[in-house]
Amino acid sequence: MQTIKFNTKYKSEMVDITEQVRDEVIKLGITNGLCTVFSTHTTASILFFENKDPKLRRDFLSSLSRIAPADAAYSSDDENAAAHIKSSLCGPRVVLPVVNGQLFLGKWQGIFFCEFDGPRDREFHIQVIKGVE
């Protein structure tokens, strides 16, 4: 398993990690299999999202903020309850095929690390399982 460490810059943001994942898959040299990208953080997520229009990312984050606003009255004493809710809605991982040594993504798909409680030191993990050749 490979671990990528980085820093987020904002309270809420979507970081395109597609190229980092692609580079790690190439380094591992696995031709066909499955690639899992996973976050161990409870206030961040990994997801597939449209990778061309940055305005869609802002729309997505603002939509999540309407679902789980930071200033809502939560029962929890945790000041980042909204971030936990957003992370749970989006999920901690994506799994995608590796075909002919490349990530199998749609034309407009990217892999994104979603920060909901930044800025912070973060990491995500990549594991590629070799398939039958």
SS (H, E, C) the chain: CEEEEEECCCCCEEEECHHHHHHHHHHHCCCCEEEEEECCCCCEEEEEEECCCHHHHHHHHHHHHHHCCCCCCCCCCCCCHHHHHHHHHHCCEEEEEEECCEECCCCCEEEEEEECCCCCEEEEEEEEEECCC
pLDDT for 133:
67
pLDDT for 4:
97
Which residues does residue 123 pair with via DSSP β-bridges, in sequence order?
Answer: 5
pLDDT for 78:
84
Query: What does the alpha-carbon distance between residue 48 and residue 79 come to, in Å, rounded to a whole number?
Result: 27
Query: Is the pLDDT score of 129 beyond 80?
Result: yes
Query: Is the pLDDT score of 48 beyond 80?
Result: yes
Q: Are 24 and 109 in contact (CB under 8 A)?
A: no
Query: Is the pLDDT score of 15 beyond 70?
Result: yes
Query: Span 62-83, mean pLDDT?
Result: 94
Query: Span 49-54, mean pLDDT?
Result: 96
Structural domains in the chain, CATH included, are: 2-130 (2.60.120.460)
pLDDT for 77:
84
Query: Span 125-130, mean pLDDT?
Result: 96
Q: Going by C-beta distance under 8 Å and a sequence separation of 6 or more, which residues neighbour residue 69? A: 82
Q: Omega into 92 within 30° of 0, i.e. cis?
A: no
Query: Is the pLDDT score of 9 beyond 80?
Result: yes
Query: Span 42-68, mean pLDDT?
Result: 97
Mean pLDDT computed over every residue of the chain:
96
Residue 33 identity: G
pLDDT tens for 91-121 read 999 999 999 999 999 999 999 999 999 999 9
Query: Is the pLDDT score of 132 beyond 90?
Result: no
